[in-house]
Amino acid sequence: MNNKKILTSTLVIGSSILLVLTLWQLPILLIIGLFITAFLKHRFCPIKKEFIMYVVSAIIGSLSESLIMITGPWSYASVQIFNFPVWLPFLWGLAGITVITIHEGIIRKNH
């Protein structure tokens, strides 16, 4: 196990939750906070092709959620684009790279 990657990922998850809970009504600030969190995650625990993985996760996560939401299982208080808040792709991108980092932390040894 790589404890640094697991700890960093845990902090990213906690930070993301706090950011969304406190800034969901201020989308620009929330996007900036999510970007800063992603940047710090990258500085402490970079992964291969991180930017590509971020973008792919953002697109697939947001598109999937938008398609599911069409059927009505839930909705957001502030819909801004395609049935979801403008900040959601940034959260999905961060979630994608964080999951990869956790996976690497579990399967790889400390260096």
- Residue 98 · residue 5 · CB < 8 Å: no
Domain ranges of the chain: 3-107
Separation of alpha carbons 104 and 84, rounded Å: 30
pTM for this model (two decimals): 0.90
Q: Read off the pLDDT of residues 11-35 as tens digits, 9 standing for 90 and up.
A: 999 999 999 999 999 999 999 999 9
What is the torsional sign of CA 61, 42, 10, 109? positive
Distance CA 86, CA 80 (A): 6
Q: How far apart are CA 35 and CA 102, in angstroms?
A: 19
For 80-98, the pLDDT digits (tens) are 777 789 999 999 999 999 9
